[in-house]
């Protein structure tokens, strides 16, 4: 079974974690292509190497204490080297990095060096070949990934290579300039490599034993999701579930490759298997519940709105002219509600209100702030009666008022709006209704 295994920052934070990674890889030689992040935090007070590299870049640009910061970064890697007892040096690489930054290599280049150095170190430790991501991942001029060229490059670079370590998080444009994905982008690198070599499985190793039904910072000891579909994961990731970068789904989904989320510290745990489809019945009616705070709504009322051709287009064109996207658009016969990130609207509040007034001449426009959106997601919801009613009952029991509700036509998710101050209680209430009461 051909596997691509990606190890996150917490899995690569110290010599002890490196040893765990090696044990995992050597237990299954199907794990042939390894993607690594930069070293993460070793404890709550520690600093991620990527954050130190951003500080290094700023110090070089502003004539700060760049050498002092560079020494801190060097020590992080040297501690790992010494802890593993390796006869290996990154001194020349650090000198090149410092010289390149002083020559204007750029912020993306600086941020990418954490993965670059860690991959070189991991390759030396495992005895695998190191392959630089700039030779595998190609970006377009707009910083989007060029999937066709990337696929071709991956096949070319890995042809005849039995075992390799590849740094995550970055690639290069056509001119050879280093470009990074957004934070957590090593997940995307692993997905692209898996798709490029037609892997049987993409393993994503982190510090939790899979996706959880709810945020453990809100719900105590939430259940792990055993199996989840790409569609469910997309809904949960978009609304805040952060175990996997949401863009990591697309390359492997196209090739039908499953993703398995595993815990480096508990490798015996099953974790979460992410698949296109499955006959396995979910343990609970819902797969997960998550959400985000700080939205606002624009409530528009106008008699006979539903018979006015182009009404919705005119309203949305006002947002488009201001460069604002909307999250949800619940509507009635004579009402329409735009749910928007509060921070986005605040910049253009009066321009938007004036634009809507001129565009459709509504009877009433109302604004409401400090709204939290909660997504209740699950393939089991489609075949279960009364899901919405149970959600309402759970929230009513906690005296939580629902500001809005929007259900997708696929019946995979229900979006609920509540006050920011009710967000955590609402998550707990829904979890208790669908998970604790079913356990």
Q: Residue 426: which of 380, 434, 406 has the closest Cα? A: 434
User: How far is 285 from 330, CA to CA, in rounded Å?
Assistant: 24
The verdict on 300 and 269 lying in the same domain is no
| Phi, psi angles (nearest 5°) of residue 74 | -60, -40
Q: Residue 411: which of 286, 261, 249 has the closest Cα? A: 286
Q: Choose the final residue of a domain: 236, 251, 275.
A: 275
Please list, in sequence order, all residues whose beta carbon lies within 8 angstroms of the beta carbon of residue 401, skipping any fewer than 6 positions away: 395, 418, 419, 422
- Mean pLDDT of the region 403-422: 86
The verdict on 306 and 207 lying in the same domain is no
Q: How confident is the model at residue 12 (pLDDT cuts 50, 70, 90)?
A: very high
Structural domain contains residue 413: yes
pLDDT in tens, 147-199: 999 999 999 999 999 999 999 999 999 999 999 999 888 999 999 999 999 99
Q: How confident is the model at residue 410 (pLDDT cuts 50, 70, 90)?
A: low
Q: What is the number of structural domains in the chain? A: 2
Q: Residue 166: which of 133, 144, 207, 138 has the closest Cα? A: 133
- Please give the angle made by the CA atoms of 280, 286 and 291, to the nearest 5 degrees: 130
User: How far is 96 from 117, CA to CA, in rounded Å?
Assistant: 12
Q: Residue 193: which of 424, 438, 3 has the closest Cα? A: 3
The pLDDT value recorded for residue 330 is: 87
Please list, in sequence order, all residues whose beta carbon lies within 8 angstroms of the beta carbon of residue 149, skipping any fewer than 6 positions away: 138
> CATH number of the domain that 309 lies in?
3.30.2130.10
CB distance 246 to 234 below 8 Å: yes
The pLDDT value recorded for residue 234 is: 81
> CATH number of the domain that 264 lies in?
3.40.1160.10
Per the structure, the complete domain to which residue 351 belongs is given by 288-438
The verdict on 377 and 433 lying in the same domain is yes
The torsion defined by the Cα of 368, 374, 379 and 381, in degrees rounded to 10, comes to: -70
Is 80 exceeded by the pLDDT of residue 227?
yes
The verdict on 268 and 302 lying in the same domain is no
Q: Choose the final residue of a domain: 275, 308, 334.
A: 275
The verdict on 165 and 63 lying in the same domain is yes
The pLDDT value recorded for residue 320 is: 95
The verdict on 261 and 306 lying in the same domain is no
The pLDDT value recorded for residue 183 is: 85
Structural domain contains residue 280: no
Structural domain contains residue 390: yes
The pLDDT value recorded for residue 67 is: 95
Within 10 angstroms of residue 292's Cβ, the number of other Cβ atoms is: 16
Structural domain contains residue 92: yes
| Phi, psi angles (nearest 5°) of residue 4 | -110, 130
pLDDT in tens, 88-113: 999 999 999 999 999 999 999 999 99
Q: Choose the final residue of a domain: 231, 246, 275.
A: 275
- Mean pLDDT of the region 344-367: 95
The verdict on 267 and 336 lying in the same domain is no
Q: How confident is the model at residue 439 (pLDDT cuts 50, 70, 90)?
A: low
User: How far is 128 from 31, CA to CA, in rounded Å?
Assistant: 11
pLDDT in tens, 310-350: 999 999 999 999 999 998 898 888 999 999 999 999 999 99
Q: Residue 49: which of 10, 99, 19, 16 has the closest Cα? A: 10
Is 90 exceeded by the pLDDT of residue 382?
no
User: How far is 71 from 430, CA to CA, in rounded Å?
Assistant: 49
Please list, in sequence order, all residues whose beta carbon lies within 8 angstroms of the beta carbon of residue 235, skipping any fewer than 6 positions away: 375, 377, 412, 413
The verdict on 255 and 342 lying in the same domain is no
Structural domain contains residue 240: yes
Structural domain contains residue 281: no
The verdict on 329 and 240 lying in the same domain is no
Structural domain contains residue 340: yes
Structural domain contains residue 249: yes
DSSP β-bridge partners for residue 399: none
Q: What secondary structure, in 3-state letters, does the chain show?
A: CCEEEEECHHHHCCHHHHHHHHHHHHHCCCEEEEEECCCCCCCCCCCCHHHHHHHHHHHHHCCCCHHHHHHHHHHHHHHHHHHHCCCCCCHHHHHHHHHHHHCCCCHHHHHHHHHHHHHHHHHHHHCCEECCHHHCCEECCCCCECHHHHHHHHHHHHCCCCCEEEECCEEECCCCCEEECCCCCHHHHHHHHHHHCCCCEEEEEECCCCCECCCCCCCCCCCECCEEEHHHHHHHHHCCCCCCCHHHHHHHHHHCCCEEEEECCCCCCCCEEEECCCCCCCCCCCCEEEEEEEEEEEEEECCCHHHCCCHHHHHHHHHHHCCCCCCECCECCCEEEEEEEHHHHHHHHHHHHHHHHHHHCCCEEEEEEEEEEEEEECHHHCCCCCHHHHHHHHHHHCCCCCCEEEECCCCCEEEEEEEHHHHHHHHHHHHHHHCHHHC
Is 90 exceeded by the pLDDT of residue 74?
yes
The verdict on 316 and 363 lying in the same domain is yes
Strand pairing of 335-341 and 272-275? unpaired
Give me Rg for the CA atoms of the chain: 24
The verdict on 182 and 266 lying in the same domain is yes
The verdict on 55 and 192 lying in the same domain is yes
Q: Residue 151: which of 202, 198, 204 has the closest Cα? A: 198
User: How far is 356 from 166, CA to CA, in rounded Å?
Assistant: 50
CB distance 230 to 274 below 8 Å: yes
């Amino acid at each position: 079974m051909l596997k691509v295994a990606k190890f996150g920052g917490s899995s690569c934070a110290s010599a002890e974690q490196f040893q765990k990674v090696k044990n995992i890889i050597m237990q299954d030689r199907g794990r042939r292509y390894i993607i690594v992040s930069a070293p993460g935090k070793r404890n709550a007070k520690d600093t991620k190497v990527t954050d130190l590299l951003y500080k290094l870049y700023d110090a070089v640009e502003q004539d700060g204490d760049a050498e002092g910061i560079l020494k801190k970064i060097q020590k992080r890697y040297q501690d790992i080297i010494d802890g593993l007892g390796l006869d290996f040096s990154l001194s020349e690489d650090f000198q090149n990095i410092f010289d390149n930054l002083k020559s204007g290599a750029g912020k993306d280049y600086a941020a990418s060096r954490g993965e670059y150095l860690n991959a070189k170190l991991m390759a030396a430790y495992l005895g695998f070949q190191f392959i630089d991501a700039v030779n595998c991942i190609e970006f377009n001029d707009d910083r989007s990934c060029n999937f066709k060229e990337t696929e071709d490059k991956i096949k070319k670079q890995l042809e005849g290579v039995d075992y390799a370590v590849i740094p995550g998080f970055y690639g290069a444009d056509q001119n050879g300039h280093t470009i990074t994905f957004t934070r957590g982008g090593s997940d995307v690198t692993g997905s692209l490599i898996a798709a490029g070599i037609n892997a049987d499985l993409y393993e994503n190793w982190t510090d939790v034993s899979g996706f959880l039904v709810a945020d453990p910072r809100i719900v105590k000891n939430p259940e792990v999701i055993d199996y989840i579909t790409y569609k469910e994961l997309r809904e949960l990731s978009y609304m805040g579930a952060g175990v996997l970068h949401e863009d990591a789904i697309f390359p492997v989904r196209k090739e039908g490759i499953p993703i398995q989320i595993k815990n480096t510290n508990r490798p015996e745990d099953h974790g979460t298997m992410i698949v296109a489809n499955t006959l396995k019945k979910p343990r609970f009616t819902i797969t997960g519940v998550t959400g985000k705070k700080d939205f606002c709504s624009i409530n528009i009322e106008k008699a006979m709105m539903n018979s006015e051709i182009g009404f919705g287009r005119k309203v949305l064109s006002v947002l488009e002219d201001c460069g604002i996207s909307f999250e949800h658009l619940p509507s009635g016969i004579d009402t329409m509600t735009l749910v928007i990130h509060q921070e986005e609207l605040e910049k253009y509040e009066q321009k938007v209100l004036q634009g809507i007034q001129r565009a459709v001449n509504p009877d009433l426009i109302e604004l409401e702030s400090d709204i939290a959106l909660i997504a209740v997601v699950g393939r089991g919801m489609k075949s279960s009666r009364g899901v919405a009613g149970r959600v309402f009952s759970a929230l009513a029991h906690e005296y939580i008022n629902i500001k809005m509700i929007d259900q997708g036509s696929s019946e995979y998710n229900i979006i609920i709006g509540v006050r920011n101050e009710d967000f955590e209680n609402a998550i707990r209430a829904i979890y208790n209704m669908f998970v604790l009461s079913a356990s």
